[in-house]
Amino acid sequence: MAAIQMYLRDQERAGGYFVDGGMYASLSMHLLKVVLAFSKDEHGTQKENDGLDTSNNMGDEDMPNPDNEDVLEFAIRGLPFYLSNAVYNPELVELARSMLDQDMKEKLLELYEEIEQLCEAMDLYLKKEPVTLNDAQPNETGLL
């Protein structure tokens, strides 16, 4: 898995498969939405008569079902890497803050260590600063 991740971050080798920080931010947002949907109730499934459809509130037909525990585990295990490569995004910041307010560790004891790593990754992500036009400096050729 690490070899694939390194390959995708190397623009020269990956070519059209290159994954940039914006793509990682987008993927992180989708995965955080899956985790948040799971955490809204005790088991990640829709409560009776609650009026919430946890499997379709993502706004994207291609989103995985948050009630699937394999998808949830994939999201929790992968998010630290994706967040570490994601560029600053205000929506992602809000999702990360919301996620830190959840009690996922108590709900998923079998993933306690992975959730700890995810919380640390979210803390690091929240320390990122937005890039401003003044921060963008031209390279040696005068191009951005």
Residues of the chain with pLDDT > 70: what percent?
A: 71
Tell me what pLDDT residue 87 has. 95
pLDDT band at residue 51, thresholds of 50, 70 and 90? Answer: very low
Tell me what pLDDT residue 1 has. 66
Does 11 or 58 have the greater pLDDT score?
11
100-109 pLDDT, tens digit per residue, is 887 787 888 8
What is the arithmetic mean of pLDDT over 14-29?
91
Q: Compute the distance between CA of residue 54 and CA of residue 56 in angstroms, rounded to an integer.
A: 6
Side-chain-facing half-sphere of 1: CA atoms under 13 Å: 5
Q: In the chain, what is the straight-line distance between the N-terminal and C-terminal CA atoms, in Å?
A: 31
Please determine, for residue 123, whether its predicted confidence score (pLDDT) is greater than 50: yes
Tell me what pLDDT residue 133 has. 59
Does 8 or 21 have the greater pLDDT score?
21
Q: What mean pLDDT, rounded, does the chain reach? A: 78
For every residue of 35-75, DSSP letters joined together read: HHHHHTSSSSSPPTT----TTTTTS-TTSPPTT-HHHHHHH
- Out of 25-29, 61-65, 73-77, 106-110, pick the least confident: 61-65
Does 135 or 131 have the greater pLDDT score?
131
The CA distances from residue 138 to 68, 75, 129, 135, in Å, are 46, 36, 19, 10
Does 20 or 51 have the greater pLDDT score?
20
